[in-house]
Amino acid sequence: MGLDIYCEGLDSNFYMGYAGFHRFREFLAKKLDIPLPFMECFYDPDSSPLSNPFWELKNVGLDSSYTIQNALSFLPIKWNSIKYNSLHRFLYHSDCDGEIEWLFLTDMYIELKFILDGVKKGERYYDEIECLISIMKYGAENQKNLLFR
């Protein structure tokens, strides 16, 4: 099971397993200085270490300290409270069915190009970013929405 991202009419697609896609979004977010594990729809105080970076504090009993409780009161971070980036829509999008309207794709693939400039060919996610750029560019030029299935 996994996620297909594509535009109708284009032969290529972006496919990745759900866990891999989560790690890929974390990679992109890190490049944009977005604390994805603390963002709304990602942070869950009662969940596993995957979605709660403070999990270990809870396990050793340090989660009740005033400082930690005060910090936790600001979580999750709302997307509209951080500096906007055109990839917010992609990072925030559900990894289930849905779509991103073609009008947003030009800004998104341009931002991905900036990220790609900082990744060496052959490094992890280089090919995936390159693939997404080509799909988003096609969608923008042909007025085709980016589909998640």
Residue 11: its pLDDT value, please? 93
Indicate the SS3 state at residue 4.
Answer: strand
Quote the CA–CA distance of 54 and 66 in Å, as a whole number: 14
Please state the pTM of the whole predicted model.
0.85
State the pairing for strand pair 146-148/98-100.
Answer: antiparallel
Q: b/e string for 31-53 if b means 16 or more Cβ within 10 A?
A: bbebebbbbeebbeeeeeeebbe
What is the tens place of the pLDDT at every residue in 66-93?
A: 666 777 788 889 999 999 999 999 999 9
Residue 98's DSSP bridge partners are 148
What is the tens place of the pLDDT at every residue in 38-73?
A: 899 888 777 655 556 666 666 656 556 666 677 778
Say if residue 142's pLDDT is above 80: yes
* Greatest CA separation for the chain: 55
Quote the CA–CA distance of 36 and 49 in Å, as a whole number: 14
H/E/C letters for each residue in 69-87?
HHHHCCCCECHHHCCCCCC
